[in-house]
Amino acid sequence: MKGAADIESYLLKVGIPFDPIAPDIWNLNAEHGNLLVSIAGPVVVFRTKVMDLPPTNREALFEALLRLNTTDMIYGAFGIEDGSVVIVNALALENLDFNEFSAVIDDFSMAVSKHYPALSKFRAAA
């Protein structure tokens, strides 16, 4: 059965600096910002903050996020958590291989770099 040692080996292989912050939780210092990777039961959860929610113009932002979820997100989805826009994904730990692990990280980085300029305009409109 796969576990924390497998995730740590994937983290070393992907070559992004990381810090273990708790048992089964790692903080990656990715190009786009911090990316948390954690083991939660039988799944590996990936989470990165994109931006704070603006105080106004939220309906238009939410519509934009939903559209991006259906057209541009491969390995995750935009969501709302604790007053922030985040990208999240969960994959089965037992079947997770390095290529899939790496693809999630690449997809998150691409999504943030590609979509942050347009999403950040909702903050300016607030």
We report the CATH number of the domain holding residue 29 as: 3.30.1460.10
pLDDT at 15 over 70: yes
Type of residue numbered 8 = E
Give pLDDT tens digits for 67-91.
999 998 888 999 999 999 999 999 9
Segment 96-100 shows an average pLDDT of: 96
Is pLDDT at 126 greater than 60 in this prediction?
no
Residue 63 belongs to what domain range? 4-124
- pLDDT of 40 > 70? The answer is yes
Q: Which pTM does this prediction carry?
A: 0.91
Classify 82 in phi/psi space as left (phi over 0), alpha (psi -120 to 50) or beta: left
The reported pLDDT for the residue numbered 75 is 82
Round to whole Å and give the CA distance between 106 and 16. Answer: 11
Task: Output b/e per residue, 71-105; b: 16+ Cβ within 10 A.
Answer: eebebbebeeeeeebbbebbbebeebeeeebeebb
Q: Which residue, 57, 53, 62, 48, is CA-closest to 113?
A: 48
pLDDT beyond 80 at 35 = yes
43-66 per-position pLDDT tens digit: 999 999 999 999 998 999 999 999
Check residue 124 and give its pLDDT: 64
pLDDT at 32 over 90: no
Number of domains in the chain: 1
pLDDT of residue 23: 94
